[in-house]
Structure 1
């Protein structure tokens, strides 16, 4: 049977075109994969009482830019937020931003209100699970509260974070306010003696950066 070279040539062109389309699609998909960091926190991450740009999240963005790391940040933190509020908001944020890394900085308001630690644990676990299901890496930010809430409650609250990090195999910042809350220096806090002053936020960032950096998308 004679070979139709014209037909074979056309088929070859079609196959090459399809291959190029598939390669372009794969490349665009890989390139467009989200590199976003999503920060889900409370007033400690929402710049409460600070001038715009003074909080640790904005300082992190500046650090990334200075180190020529092209990773955008979505700061979805709300002052007064609890773990239940964060859990209710997280899925919509995951769907919208498809982050590569989720930083969970919640729990302090639960403790300050004396809420159930069992509920706090459940909410934190649920958020970690949702983030990992969305293929995001998780950084859990540990917190502590003053001892005037009772020795047992204070200890159990502090123990929540390493326990959940271990169970969920998540990366942990042991204590967000290390070098701030454990110092007898009133200049590190705002007038309410609860929220860190601007001068404390570089310290907070230094507590977070060593654990966050290895999670950043390449």
Structure 2
């Protein structure tokens, strides 16, 4: 299931037909169980998750916690990649025992020109580890590294995220970071949001979580 710009796509079999219909503007309710108010959510990523470009408490995990009421743990490490993050995920899962893990990685991999196929397999391994722990994984789409797209405000999520979401049947919230970094007013630099950008990220992620059925807005 993929949420992108308030549209829901379902992966696999009959879901593929629904995905096509949804891509044409349709939408439908999520089929995931809502998390309780007491839920622990792990935001697992790099400098964007950490909040680089804004002051403490202005990162998107902190803002998402304010919106949802969940305990959202910020496990963003600046400079981290999808491959290096694999070495710390197990510790984070054991320490926080989350109900949901939001995986937002790949930006540094693209900047270092790692092959998309390798990034995809690293993300797949993270998804599997989260599931083995008993938590729900969720992907955040990340834009491809493109100076032209950034300059023209036309950033788009790399295609590997949609492919991986369909292959693994994992929910994906897309077009969030791409939208923010495409706006000069919402970014601190070309790869990091500012405080307003992180606030928009949190709001769009919350919208996606509501569409997926994971969060019930008050």
When the two chains are superposed, the root-mean-square deviation of aligned CA atoms in Å is: 2.4
Structure 1 residues without counterparts, runs of 5 or longer: 1-33, 66-70
Kept in 2: contact 1:101–1:215 (CA 8 A): no
Deviations 1:178-198 (A, max 9, x none): 432233xx23221x3321111
Q: Which residue of 2 aligns with 1:145?
A: 144
Deviation, structure 1 residue 160: 0.6
Q: Which residue of 2 aligns with 1:166?
A: 166
Alignment of 1:49 onto 2:48:
no
Structure 2 residues without counterparts, runs of 5 or longer: 1-37, 150-154
SS in structure 2 of the partner of residue 215 of structure 1? coil
Q: 1:102 to 1:162 in 2, by over 3 A?
A: same
The aligned length equals: 172
Matching residue within 187, 201, 205 for 2:202: 205
1:2-13 aligned within 5 A: none
Distance 2:100 2:157 in 1: 24
Deviations 1:147-172 (A, max 9, x none): 3489xxxx997111011111111110
Higher relative contact order (CA 8 A, sep 6+): 2
Kept in 1: contact 2:181–2:192 (CA 8 A): no
More helix by share: 1
Structure of greater Rg: 1
Q: 1:103 to 1:173 in 2, by over 3 A?
A: same
Task: Report the TM-score when normalising by structure 2.
Answer: 0.71
Q: Which residue of 2 aligns with 1:196?
A: 193
Q: Which residue of 1 aligns with 2:90?
A: 91
Alignment of 1:179 onto 2:176:
no
